[in-house]
Amino acid sequence: SAAEKGGYDYFMLKEIAEQPKAVADTLLGRIDAAGSLTLDEVRIPDSVLREVDKVVIVACGTAYHAGLIAKYAIEHWTRIPCETELASEFRYRDPILDQRTLVVAISQSGETMDTLMALRHAREQGAKVLAICNTNGSTIPRESDAVLYTHAGPEVAVASTKAFLTQLVACYLVALYLGQVRGTKWGDEVRGVVRELSVIGAQVEEVLATMEPVRELARSLADKNTVLFLGRHVGYPVALEGALKLKELAYMHAEGFAAGELKHGPIALIEKDVPVVVVVPSPRGRSVLHDKIVSNIQEIRARGARTIVIAERGDEAVRPYADHLVEVPATPVLLQPLVATVPLQVFACELATARGNEVDQPRNLAKSVTVE
């Protein structure tokens, strides 16, 4: 009913709008006044976490994209090797797991069969399993050693939005907590990130307030067949997520690529007027990556692409090459996905509407896939 949708036409629109609160709720009570993390619900003793020598993240769909981003954060802040794998691939390749492996299973519903089977396999091999989940008492957290709940509230639309942002927050918390427990890299940078996390909800709100041009752009692309997405570093999984949203909702051919791979294939797809969404890393910090992506944008634009550029506010270097510029607030490098994903959700939702598709219930898809 309209009341359930809180005055929005679709649950997806409501859930996109709820993201600032979902993010804030997921942080609530987990960071103390001194900027230290307290994850009491993670019932794996710190002594065990200190011994972890490998982290393996398993998930499906959008949750897998959160896991890909988590890998960057975990390795950077903890120096523990981390791999992220599709749950459906994981247990069929005889993965190497033991008591010192921490497996993180990410699932909104807590019922995805592939993710459940992956964690069962991991526990059989003696690994500890931490679930990141949005559904209280669901199967995946029940069968895990510990759980960190995302507090997104119920997500009804099949295409995941607010759950994704809160999965990211939970992954950052896990990464920072591991860093804190192990004392590695727990310096000014990490404390700064914890501080920045507390303002990220407001930054997501800022993004949401500037989405009208993105909706307009989406409507203008309703008759296109293909949209490509490019990203680098944590922007690469954001590109994958943007493409997934477009497939799910607009039924368009959409593909995400690592920008550095452009010359190894994807550039052959560029022809006149192909829309290409590029997620640009901050010009601050890792500016090498920024400069490389700017030259990618020049390369594709010279071949006729219509460039839709998501960049940090004030990034003047990209402006001359952006047919459409979407500015997002400055965040620490690793946190950028929290703001950069939001325009891609809005874009996909509006394109689906413009194409007359059912936004909340896309064809052939289910909210939770409980078969293998």
Binding mask of the shown chain, residues 263 to 302, with x at each position contacting ligand G6P by CB under 6 A: ----------------------------------------
Establish if 331 lies at the interface with ligand G6P (CB under 6 A).
Answer: no
Q: Which residues are catalytic?
A: 367
Site stretch for ligand G6P (CB under 6 A), options 195-203, 220-228, 298-306, 364-372: 364-372
Establish if 60 lies at the interface with ligand G6P (CB under 6 A).
Answer: yes
Establish if 86 lies at the interface with ligand G6P (CB under 6 A).
Answer: no
Establish if 160 lies at the interface with ligand G6P (CB under 6 A).
Answer: yes
Establish if 150 lies at the interface with ligand G6P (CB under 6 A).
Answer: no
Establish if 115 lies at the interface with ligand G6P (CB under 6 A).
Answer: yes
Q: Which residue is nearest to ligand G6P (CB)?
A: 61
Question: Which residue, 295 or 370, is less far from ligand G6P as judged by CB?
Answer: 370
Site stretch for ligand G6P (CB under 6 A), options 118-126, 142-150, 154-162, 298-306: 154-162
What φ, ψ does residue 159 adopt, rounded to 5°? Answer: -75, 125
Question: Which residue, 62 or 341, is less far from ligand G6P as judged by CB?
Answer: 62
Establish if 120 lies at the interface with ligand G6P (CB under 6 A).
Answer: no
Question: Which residue, 115 or 203, is less far from ligand G6P as judged by CB?
Answer: 115
Least distance to ligand G6P, CB of residue 65, Å: 8
In contact, 158 and 366? CB cutoff 8 Å: yes
Establish if 108 lies at the interface with ligand G6P (CB under 6 A).
Answer: yes
Least distance to ligand G6P, CB of residue 116, Å: 9
Selected binder of ligand G6P within 26, 112, 150, 307 (CB under 6 A): 112
What φ, ψ does residue 103 adopt, rounded to 5°? Answer: -100, 130
Residue 30 CA, chain-centre distance (Å), reads 20
Residues contributing to the site for ligand G6P (CB under 6 A): 60-63, 107-109, 112, 115, 158-160, 365, 367-369
